Amino acid sequence: MYVIYGHCELFLPYAANLKDKRMVIRSILDRLKKRINISALEIKYQDLWQRSMLGFAAVAASQTDLNLIREAVRSTLDLHLSEAEIIGLNFDIIPIISD
């Protein structure tokens, strides 16, 4: 079993205010949660309207599941490239050894 977690930093060039930003971020987070059942939220830059950092975490049973989660996160973010530019995307994996 594995835990995959990470963060993504975004730049939202067309957000004119926090309401615009929240609309884009909510869309991304909802899509991540519905599509791959991942825990995700905005973890930094809540008061800035053109920047955001999203954190996410999930548990996977196998390496194959890890790759599916990683690709699903990337493709979900790619769907929003017209609204949000990806500044950075990092994944970390922790193997959990069961007895």
Strands of the chain, DSSP E: 2-11, 39-44, 51-60, 85-95
Q: What is the pTM of this model?
A: 0.86
Q: Which residues of 28-42 are buried (b: 16+ CB within 10 A; e: fewer)?
A: bbebbeeebebebeb
Per-residue pLDDT for 99 more than 60? no
Closest of 27, 23, 21, 38 to residue 73, by C-alpha: 38
Report residue 97's pLDDT band, with 50, 70 and 90 as the boundaries: confident
Residue 19 burial by CB count (10 A; 0-12/13-18/19+): exposed, middle or buried? exposed
pLDDT in tens, 78-89: 999 999 999 999
Structural domains in the chain, CATH included, are 2-95 (3.30.70.1120)
Q: Which two tokens stand for residue 96?
A: 């959990």
